[in-house]
Structure 1
């Protein structure tokens, strides 16, 4: 079915879940909109409405709440800055913004492709060290980007610019702004659990922070930076802009944003499954997320994905079908249209405090505290990915992290599998042999060698095959036992072919123990079996040893 699971059997629960999720979404959407664009909350608010509505209709996880998230906001903020920072006129700024939102559309297209080609189950199959480092790096970026507004200064220069300006920011702190930011973070951190059940701390912090800024004399008298006024009308259509000289960068940014959105959404879908004891449709979810981001980009909204906080709140409040996500989007839209004028009273320091707390929560503190105890290599990969994410580039961080993690994994797997490549010339070796097999090897007195391989033979095992083959001493016959090989890679099969050919060239008789299946088909494609007499190929190791020993002079 093309639509998500929309049911009317749980209207009360879905309505309450949608209402609660909308309350949680409002302050987050405001904060993310301001953080991503440098002051305009509109893209965050309408992104929360559009993405939530479209993903609820066409996604594959009934209880998933989709909206702009911290990781997606960080990446889009980088994209937005790269296309608008050099604008010298209003027209150039408009063009840059159109290109940035076109990247959101491209991200949605990539997500649809991932879903259509059924790549959903592969998207999250990255090493946890890389995912943890990447997400922690994104959390650190979100924290860094909030520091200027949190300290009462202008936001400029992105992450690297902010890091360079830290000494200046510390020495030029605006005390009223800092106090307001600290109050906001304190409310988020220390709100009692009993109150959280009735009112999300984000909304509480938004309301209290704004009221204090208006009515507390010490703060009301200060010249606090607030959200610029924005129109309460429905968003206009954003015409996609594909600049020829920036097209390559736009596609790369779109791919990165799309991949991050896939990971973010599917990880949240797994959380939803664990809470509801259901199973989501990964590929359908990716298509729904892609359609949502395309629509959001077309109307100038932020990109988004499945939001863990909103999803958990929705489920705990009673939401069980996609109807809750639809209700949430409708409620949020009504609130935006009705209360938009009030938004201009919200101080930027309050929104910076909310976003800063989100960034702190994104950082994987639990794993970072234990990584060096689990494995020094894992810790180096995680911290390396964090450093690359913050200081260099998101793509470089993921690419280098995955490459290094895979190389280390392959090296470890190769070392383990190499132990299963053995040459046996006596029955004293640590190999399970039947009584008859032991008797046959003893009878051969070193003139028959059993060359045993077992398990998956990946390309890293080729060196072990060559090493064991080169160590073969004087013998007249070699039995290559492959009946326990579950996978024979191309590189390993070529190393095996070389060992067999060299044995034949020096005059040794070669016997092959081989079962029907993928390994036999691989050797048939190499045309290796045609080089051996039919009687030298069998599926029984004992029979192969029997023939080898009986052929001795």
Structure 2
């Protein structure tokens, strides 16, 4: 649902104008980096910027081409030998997938990706962008792909175009060192673009050349059966990567504006924007952190600012394209190197040695896979490794909790019973959710800690809210050990859900007895030790509500 808010009109106009000016050099540079040309970058910035703002769930967010998306598009461009129609089809499919993500509520799960994984693949993307620009800074056009660019580097170093190198490095220095006082009027990236282009007029360096002007033409989706799998894979990567990139930027916007975004609505807005981007021949985009920050700092608060940013770029396309044709490739390469350096997570890298080594190792693994394999593998492997590490950590806590066999209990009567029974009863108190992570070790630890002369083993589930089948199977192992040793097994404190799982696994053990409280279990154990209890308390799940 579209909800335009005009209560901050002046601030939104100022923020949108500023964000549009900042977005111009980046849209041009990222369009060139994608292989589809500067006009594709501008069309992508216009479509994604306008429609993501109009339909999205983060009012102050500015969307457009970003480094991560361009890395995927550049790889797809190389794989498809520059077939623009198929690439734009992939962009449209990515947009439709993001719309589906929004309606399916996927946004809440994307936010669960661990920070070291996000840090690793963002830093890897930054490294890829820099690697791909090194050849251009040296005056060459390297082959596509990270490996190709690295392999070509010795050739480029043997034949350096020093004018191009000086121009690119000068652009990079201006973009970084542009005085903040002047940045209020002319952003550093735009200043670097203008100064670099003016300097290039007296140099002989490659320039962008003729750029189409006017309104874009429609690019309807095409189908090629031989390339269908490649297109679908690229579309899925673009959709997931764009979703992650956008929602991370949404969190930044939330922190700055003290608001809360709607993640699923944001995915729908991004999806509509990318669908239109592909339809008009633009590259895919996502929420752009730097442009969003500039918008907010310039007074932008609502979605009107993002729409104005897109209209500013449209006005530039309609009137200033001939001037953009004079921009040198080296200048855009310098701007892109800055983009890559900004994406790298320097703040985490500086502090990583102080944190857990496993998290740092995970980050480096994801970074390496991002640079030398592909993004989806990097994120997939990172999430799996992080999940396994988390399960192991939780399992260790569960086992540690199990080791804390009570020497004394809070209830005086229970404490008296425990003191009376002493070595005749072994009590094991489980704490927290029991899952497959701890299942492998539960039987071993109970077997190790059980008192040699005990006649009754009590498993106390009072503090267990949930249990999975793997943990229940471990309880079955404990049951078998107890019965084989001639001990009675007593279960107490299990809630309805835990009892259902235990009943489904242990129903074939009629010797198991169950009680609602530990006190009842201890009374029963006392009678068993004394040999005075003849009642048969078969285990029954408390399934009645």
Q: What range is the shorter-chain TM-score in?
A: over 0.9
Equivalent residue in structure 1 for 2:73, among 51, 71, 76: 76
Matches within 5 A, 1:342-357: 342-357=323-338
TM-superposed deviation, 1:433 = 4.4
Question: Is the alpha carbon distance of 1:423 and 1:175 closer, same or farther for their aligned partners in structure 2, counting shifts above 3 Å?
Answer: closer
Number of the residue aligned with 1:508: 487
Is structure 2 residue 226 aligned with structure 1 residue 245?
A: yes
Query: Are residue 203 (structure 1) and residue 190 (structure 2) matched?
Result: yes
Gaps of 5+ in 2: 532-545
Cα offset, 1:528, TM superposition: 3.5
Post-superposition CA distance 1:24-74 (Å, at most 9, x none): 111110000111116x20110000001111111111111111100111111
- 1:543 — aligned with what? 520
Q: Name which of 239, 244, 253 aligns with 1:263.
A: 244
Q: Is the 8 A contact 1:22 1:332 kept in 2?
A: yes
Distance 1:499 1:527, change over 3 A: closer
**1:526 Cα deviation from its structure 2 partner:** 3.6
SS of equivalent to 2:466: strand
Give the alignment of 1:260-299 within 5 angstroms: 260-299=241-280
SS in 2 for 1:483: strand
Note if 1:145 corresponds to 2:132: yes
Offset from partner CA, 1:129-155 (integer Å, 9 cap, x none): 111110000000000111122111123
- CA deviations on 1:210-244 (whole Å, 9 max, x unpaired) are 11112xxxxx1x32100021210211111212321
Unmatched 5+ residue regions in structure 1? 85-92, 215-219
Is 2:433 the partner of 1:435?
Answer: no
User: Which stretch of the first structure deviates more once superposed, 379-388 or 496-505?
Assistant: 496-505
Is contact 2:90–2:234 with CA below 8 Å preserved after alignment? yes
1:423–1:450 contact (8 Å) kept in structure 2 = no
2:3 aligned with 1:22: no
* Higher deviation after alignment, 467-476 or 321-330: 467-476
Per the alignment, residue 305 of structure 1 pairs with 286
Q: Partners in 1 of 2:420 and 2:496 — Cα distance?
A: 32
Structure 2 residue 451 is matched with structure 1 residue 454? no
Structure 1 counterpart of 2:34: 36
Q: For residue 537 of structure 2, what is the aligned residue in structure 1?
A: none
Q: Does 1:62 align with 2:49?
A: no
Quote the Cα distance in structure 2 between the aligned partners of 1:458 and 1:489.
5
State the distance in 2 between where 1:443 and 1:81 align: 78
Contact 1:423 1:468 in 2 (8 A): no
Per the TM alignment, residue 529 of structure 1 is displaced from its structure 2 partner at its CA by 9.5
Using a 3 Å threshold, how does the CA distance of structure 1 residues 275 and 529 change in structure 2: closer, same or farther?
farther
* C-alpha distance in structure 1 between counterparts of 2:185 and 2:511, whole Å: 78
- Does 2:42 align with 1:45? yes
Compare 292-301 and 379-388 and name the one that shifted more.
Answer: 379-388
Q: What does the per-residue CA deviation read over 1:495-517, in whole Å, with 9 as the maximum and x for residues that have no partner? A: 11332244345543232212434
Contact 1:421-1:464 at 8 Å conserved across structures: no
- The 8 Å contact of residues 61 and 285 in structure 1, kept in 2 or not, is answered as yes
Question: Please, what is the CA RMSD of the aligned residues?
Answer: 1.9
Deviates further, 442-451 or 169-178: 442-451
SS in 2 for 1:457: coil
Q: Look up the SS of the partner of 1:232 in the other structure.
A: coil
Residue 10 of structure 1 corresponds to 8
Task: For residue 120 of structure 1, report the CA deviation from its aligned partner.
Answer: 0.5
1:330 to 296, 311, 325: 311
The answer to whether the 8 A contact 1:422-1:453 is kept is no
1:487 matches 2:466: yes
Contact 2:74 2:144 in 1 (8 A): no
Aligned to 1:90: none
Select 2:499's aligned residue among 520, 545, 550: 520
Q: TM-score, normalised by structure 2?
A: 0.93
Q: Is the 8 A contact 1:104 1:257 kept in 2?
A: yes
Q: 2: CA distance between counterparts of 1:523 and 1:551?
A: 23
- TM-score, normalization by structure 1: 0.91
Secondary structure (helix, strand or coil) at the match of 1:33 reads: helix
Query: How far 1:532 moved relative to its partner?
Result: 5.8
- Please say which of residues 514-523 and 349-358 is displaced more in the overlay: 514-523
Q: Which residue of 2 aligns with 1:320?
A: 301
Moved more, 322-331 or 21-30: 322-331
**Aligned-partner Cα distance in 2 for 1:521–1:546:** 24
CA distance in 1, matches of 2:403, 2:330: 67
| Distance apart, 1:530 and its partner CA | 8.4
Contact 2:460-2:494 within 8 A present in 1 as well: no
What is the alpha-carbon distance in structure 1 between the residues aligned to residue 438 and residue 409 of structure 2? 21
